[in-house]
Amino acid sequence: MGCGSSREQAPKALIKCGIKLVIAVSFGYIFHRNAINLGLALLKITDENLVDLLKTGVLLDVNLEEGNICIDKVLIKQIEPLNKISLKILNAGGLMYLLKNNIEKL
């Protein structure tokens, strides 16, 4: 996902569509960095069995801090949680919001 995309417009377009989380088997490095900085959560999964379960209309509950993926309230996968810095950026709504709200601490 996002390979060859060095512009912020790619994750911005997803955010404008109301998307809050993208799940894919891989992400381009610059797309990944831009997405996190803009507040778009990304989840990398490589388990093909899990990919097959993620169909349109499936109700997902994803906890990026704990590393849980539940489908219809049933834990189906324990994943590696996001690192603390990425979580802090996402929880603030993006890097600019994090910096803006913490400027006095810098």
How do residues 3-13 score in pLDDT, each as one tens digit? 776 788 899 99
Q: To the nearest whole number, what is the mean pLDDT of the chain?
A: 86
For the chain, which residues make up each domain, given as ranges? 9-105
Side-chain half-sphere exposure of 66, counting CA atoms within 13 A:
9
- Whether 54 shows a pLDDT value over 90: the answer reads no
Phi and psi dihedrals of 84, rounded to 5?
-60, -35
Q: Domain 9-105 in CATH: superfamily?
A: Aconitase, domain 4 (3.20.19.10)
Q: In this predicted structure, what is the pLDDT of residue 7?
A: 81
Q: Considering the entire predicted model, what is its pTM?
A: 0.82
Mean pLDDT of 65-86: 84
Tokens of 79: 């994943």
